[in-house]
A and B are shown apart, each in its own frame.
Chain A
């Protein structure tokens, strides 16, 4: 067991360091602004007095490193400062939307993960048949399409032309859960289409890779029935790549969610980020970027830790 623990701890430590470096990157990127935030917000016509006043208000007269640690400390306790445009607290603008985004991503993941793993395994077992080739072309097309293309096609056919689902995913507090699922079905389906294609291809590659290894060949040669080869020999070693595939694709959902939220006018954190970028509202941009990046890093971390924990060679040391 000691080996596993050491590996996991090492990977966790690496994750924390990466997170730290990325937070530095996100904070100091804004310092690259020609002039500083106060100048950028107020524009060319501002008098030196107003710039100086805003600078004091934002605490820009302190050294950047001090401000970084204040910001990081705030971020760890859920306080991201104040929005430059509305003057609202960033944390209160984000919290509700973050829950919405998590809901959408979870909704998509719950549908996509089982479907894509089952399909991926089937396609791998049927490799080089017609079914496999067709699946290859279909998934490739789905991956190559921009998310907004898939989203608008779904709107056109499932909302406008046939009226099965609402085209705009506006939420209100007093909606029932079923109503909520119905309202968010199209954005979730868009994400499902993109992620399923990715996951299917990766699962297929992982399983084919596994089935090509010599010990599977050996099991076949000694006459083990095919289902037993899969269940007893292939599956224990397949968990690691499958967990990896799932976690990597959940991380992929994070990027996809931004475009999908904009297409469906979904009140999530992605849309907040896009609006903030257009308005150059840096505290919100930084907070959203940090949240997205942290989720991405954590999911990648989960993928690696999962792979370590399910590796049979590590669980049964010699």
Chain B
């Protein structure tokens, strides 16, 4: 029995006693079941297993602490109305906001943060980490850390661009279809059906094989693939607004379609649309990452997370973690956006599950 193991159990049992004393039922169950599970894990995996649990719990606690502090910080700096909303945000949502904020900073200030250029060869291939290179070098001897920072700009930027294009196309078509109705509505609906009946990755592979892989093509193809989702949602949301009396009144006043969309329908359907934007971004981001991973997305030497995983995958067979960092960066951002979207959907639709 090392001091670590004794300290480990003492801490867990002490914490569960405290939780029980203060009648924190959920916390007590969590900590005490962790204690019981640790017995089993300790017997099977020995001290390393317990150390792993400690590290995981530490990381979780750190994340929870950061999200709590970030939420309080946001509440203080934002005006009263927004702050009131923010107080209802669960920790997962503020964690998501914190991650998005960090990525935005990394992307915007990439040239300042990154110690080396994204295409700059500074050492030999797969050189290990030293004081000059935080994470070592990639397959051509470029600094991995700098490329990950630049990747925040390139990968996220491209996905954001494609999402915005998809969103503008889908939302405009949806709003027009809802207000105009008739054959335009029918035609766009069937068109969306056809595009959605082909799996998105397959459809984009087909298009990229025809038009080649340059950035403009990727953005447009991805936007066309995901616009039908936005179209359907906008059409449904706007369809509910269009039948309202105030729309009828505006029509009788003689307002045009554009006025109706901009002044009457859009303000009444923003909440679900913003949530959809977040979800849409996740899909687009994962699709583009997948394409890049297949070597069909952003082309070298531009740093991009998907292709970085592919290029450095050989390192994994030597038990190295570094190629997984860009992949983890993709996963983390998607999770973060999902957390925020979950909270917004809950807020906007009053989606209170029983």
Q: Which residues of A contact B (CB under 8 A)?
A: 18, 21-22, 25-26, 29-30, 32-33, 127-128, 130, 137, 140-141, 143-149, 152-153, 155-156, 160-161, 167, 208, 211-212, 251, 254-255, 258-259, 262, 273-274, 276-278, 280, 282, 285-286, 288-289, 292-293, 296-297, 300
Say whether B353 contacts A208, CB under 8 Å. Answer: yes
| B260 contacts the other chain (CB 8 A) | no
Q: A32-B210, A278-B295 are in contact. List 9 more A-B contacts (CB 8 A).
A: A25-B194, A128-B353, A140-B338, A146-B330, A149-B330, A156-B319, A262-B293, A273-B205, A278-B296
| B201 contacts the other chain (CB 8 A) | yes
Cβ-defined partner of B201 (8 Å) among A130, A143, A212, A255: A255
Say whether B324 contacts A149, CB under 8 Å. Answer: yes
A34: nearest chain-B partner, CB-CB: B211
| B199 contacts the other chain (CB 8 A) | yes
Given A262-B294, A278-B296: A285 in contact with B209 (beta carbons within 8 A): yes
B321: nearest chain-A partner, CB-CB: A156
Question: What residues on A are CB-neighbors of B330 within 8 Å?
Answer: 145-146, 149
A258-B198 Cα distance, complex, nearest whole Å: 14
A-B contact count (CB 8 A): 144
- Interface footprint category on B: 35 or more
Cβ-defined partner of B324 (8 Å) among A128, A143, A156, A259: A156
Say whether B206 contacts A285, CB under 8 Å. Answer: yes
Chain A: minimal CB distance from B304 (Å): 13
Q: Which residues of B contact A (CB under 8 A)?
A: 26, 29-30, 92, 193-194, 197-203, 205-211, 282, 286, 289-290, 293-296, 306, 309-310, 313, 316-319, 321, 323-324, 327-328, 330-331, 334-335, 338-339, 342, 353-354
A143: nearest chain-B partner, CB-CB: B338
Say whether B209 contacts A152, CB under 8 Å. Answer: no
Cβ-defined partner of B197 (8 Å) among A141, A259, A300: A300
Cβ-defined partner of B327 (8 Å) among A127, A140, A148, A296: A148
A160-B354 Cα distance, complex, nearest whole Å: 45
A-B contact pairs, 21 of them (CB 8 A): A18-B193, A18-B194, A18-B197, A21-B194, A25-B194, A29-B210, A32-B210, A140-B335, A145-B334, A149-B309, A149-B331, A156-B321, A160-B317, A161-B319, A259-B294, A262-B293, A289-B198, A289-B205, A289-B206, A292-B199, A292-B202
Say whether B199 contacts A293, CB under 8 Å. Answer: yes
Say whether B331 contacts A277, CB under 8 Å. Answer: no
Say whether A146 contacts B199, CB under 8 Å. Answer: no
Say whether B199 contacts A144, CB under 8 Å. Answer: no
Question: What residues on B are CB-neighbors of A255 within 8 Å?
Answer: 199-202
Question: What residues on A are CB-neighbors of B290 within 8 Å?
Answer: 146-148, 259
A184-B140 Cα distance, complex, nearest whole Å: 32
A18: nearest chain-B partner, CB-CB: B197
Cβ-defined partner of B29 (8 Å) among A130, A137, A282: A130
Chain B: minimal CB distance from A170 (Å): 14
Say whether A208 contacts B334, CB under 8 Å. Answer: no
Please list the 7 inter-chain residue pairs (A to B) with the smallest Cβ-Cβ separation, ordered nearest first: A144-B334, A149-B327, A145-B331, A277-B209, A144-B335, A255-B199, A292-B202
